[in-house]
Amino acid sequence: MSAELSITPQAELWARYSAGLYRNEELGFSLDLSRVNMSPSEQSAIAEMFPMAFSAMAQLEAGSIANKDEGRMVGHYWLRAPQLAPTPELEADILQAIFDVNAFCQAVHAGEVTGSGGKFTNVLLIGIGGSALGPQFIATALASSHDKLHMSFFDNTDPDGIDLVLSSLASCLATTLVVVVSKSGGTPETRNGMLEAQAAFQAAGIPFAPQAVAITQAGSKLDQTAQSEGWLKTFPMWDWVGGRTSVMSTVGLVPAALQGLDIDSLLEGAGQMDSLTRVPQVKENPAAHLAMAWYHCGQGRGSKDMVLLPYKDRLALFSKYLQQLVMESLGKELDRKGQKVNQGIAVYGNKGSTDQHAYVQQLRDGLNNFFATFIEVLKDRQGDSIEVDAGVTSGDYLYGFYAGTRKALYESGRDSITITVNEVNAHSVGALIALYERAVGLYAELVNINAYHQPGVEAGKKAAAQILALQSQAVEVVVSNKASLTADEVAKLANASDVESIYGILRHLAANPSRGIVRQPGKTPAEDRFGKL
């Protein structure tokens, strides 16, 4: 196949590009599938599946219980078109939340709401998954020297990672606004981050509650904590917004507005893309183009990985953001009929041309198990560029590397999609997010899965809870025994059968001296002995 492709005449490729390019001048956006080796007949076969996908999306937008397993509506599209919400109450809730976000952030910027050290200078956002990835992506994509507040994140329960962020905030904790984000309000990593931040405030003698903001569903554990401790502010989150599609809700709007970003433009860009991707004709709909290409490349089974190559540093976190959006939405064991399908599309990537010096070698010459998505940004920078060679700028190089890689991949029979935007700004970032949200929704309909639940995540959470329960049993046995014990002996005394887990727990504790446990290494893990320090 690659030999055939490599001899496709340039003129034919140019004609295919020109005739097939989806573009919208007003939005400053185009989508090119000319380097996806999909014949017209294959295109029409996939296009025939779309009417039912369009109608499912229309029902979803009209307020159907699209997430049947969890009995929920799926309403992230209403966030940028509140008039489309299925009830006047929901419309009013969305508008009120946007109003409150603006009012609060204006008061912070104006110094009407302050920290104990005066006007806020920093934001520490604590969240994980959909409650961190979107805010992090937007913060990085749209950062500038005019940012009103400096952004930091706790997005994990890694003590060392937390310390690193805290050390960077040490001199400005008294002017740091802490925003704790959790839709469910009960996610352990986020709760731990909140407790770590509270401890740091306490150690510095700064009251935490007057500098803390919660974003969560009414009545959640986090909501209760915020209420009972008298936190500065609580913003609502709704059950009809999924975590991975929550970036246009208070989850993404509060941090973005605090940073000083143009949230109206973000919502407008998303809303404009929503209008284009609502169109029920494949040819006219860029999200349908994308979903069609995904279906073709992976044969509707996700057999090829999606490699994201944005040629713009600001978009480096987009692949991380899309990893959750795509993989948590599409990675499902069962289809809607309950049949085992093990669907999904693996997503990875970072940025071009950096990745050309890392893994692009394999993309070009190695396993052909992927399709690439290039993101090209036409505007190089604000202001002019110097020439790095006669008549050539750094931006020309970046373009050259993108175009060259696209060509080289095509010549070795590897499919690629190119998305082009005029520039990276709040409007185009909103549009890109909306494009992928819709493409994921449409693709999920094509393969008949529920894109809006995440049953698999629960298994890991339950297993983690079991390990933590086992830890207290194991510690009790070790500290109440005079002699040191092997993991097998600890397991026996704790009445537990999972010796390997006990070994792992004790080895971890022994590596942290303040936990009071020592390890005497034996020849093998089974011969290691654990005792009181």
Ligand X SMILES: O=P(O)(O)OC[C@H]1O[C@H](O)[C@H](O)[C@@H](O)[C@@H]1O
CA distances from 253 to 24, 100, 175, 263, 412 (A): 26, 11, 20, 6, 43
Spatial separation of the C-alpha atoms in residues 332 and 335, rounded to whole Å: 7
Residue carrying structure tokens 């390890």: 519
**CB of 233 closer than 8 Å to CB of 239:** no
Spatial separation of the C-alpha atoms in residues 275 and 97, rounded to whole Å: 22
Spatial separation of the C-alpha atoms in residues 114 and 177, rounded to whole Å: 9
Spatial separation of the C-alpha atoms in residues 530 and 105, rounded to whole Å: 53
Spatial separation of the C-alpha atoms in residues 505 and 502, rounded to whole Å: 5
Please return the burial class of 159, using the count of CB atoms within 10 Å of its CB with bins 0-12, 13-18 and 19+. Answer: exposed
Least distance from ligand X to the Cβ atom of residue 202, Å: 23
Query: 27: phi > 0 → left, psi -120 to 50 → alpha, else beta; which?
Result: alpha
Q: Which is nearer to ligand X, 243 or 430 (CB)?
A: 243
Q: Which is nearer to ligand X, 220 or 418 (CB)?
A: 220
- Helix, strand and coil percent figures for the chain, each rounded to 5: 55, 15, 35
Token representation of residue 239: 């059950």
Token representation of residue 465: 């809870």
Token representation of residue 375: 């993101």
Q: Which is nearer to ligand X, 328 or 376 (CB)?
A: 328
Least distance from ligand X to the Cβ atom of residue 496, Å: 27
Q: Which is nearer to ligand X, 116 or 184 (CB)?
A: 184
Using alpha carbons only, give the angle 359, 360, 365 rounded to the nearest 5 degrees: 110
Least distance from ligand X to the Cβ atom of residue 325, Å: 10
Q: Which is nearer to ligand X, 286 or 344 (CB)?
A: 344
CA distances from 188 to 221, 234, 472 (A): 11, 19, 17
Where are any strands of DSSP class E within 16-121?
Answer: 22-24, 29-32, 114-115, 118-119
Q: Which of 12, 68, 284, 357 is flagged as catalytic?
A: 357
Radius of gyration, alpha carbons of the chain: 26
Spatial separation of the C-alpha atoms in residues 484 and 520, rounded to whole Å: 9
- Any catalytic annotation for residue 109? no
3-state secondary structure of 272: helix
Q: Which is nearer to ligand X, 34 or 246 (CB)?
A: 246
Least distance from ligand X to the Cβ atom of residue 45, Å: 33
Q: Which is nearer to ligand X, 244 or 314 (CB)?
A: 244
- Any catalytic annotation for residue 328? yes
Nearest to 487 by CA among 516, 532, 523, 519: 519
Q: Which of 61, 189, 196, 328 is flagged as catalytic?
A: 328
Least distance from ligand X to the Cβ atom of residue 306, Å: 19
Least distance from ligand X to the Cβ atom of residue 328, Å: 6
Q: Which is nearer to ligand X, 372 or 440 (CB)?
A: 440
Least distance from ligand X to the Cβ atom of residue 238, Å: 12
Least distance from ligand X to the Cβ atom of residue 354, Å: 28
- Any catalytic annotation for residue 461? yes
Q: Which of 461, 476, 500, 527 is flagged as catalytic?
A: 461
Residues that bind ligand X in the complex, under the rule CB under 6 A = 128-131, 182-184, 187, 190, 243-244, 328, 454, 457
Host H or E run for residue 519: strand 517-520
Active site members: 328, 357, 461
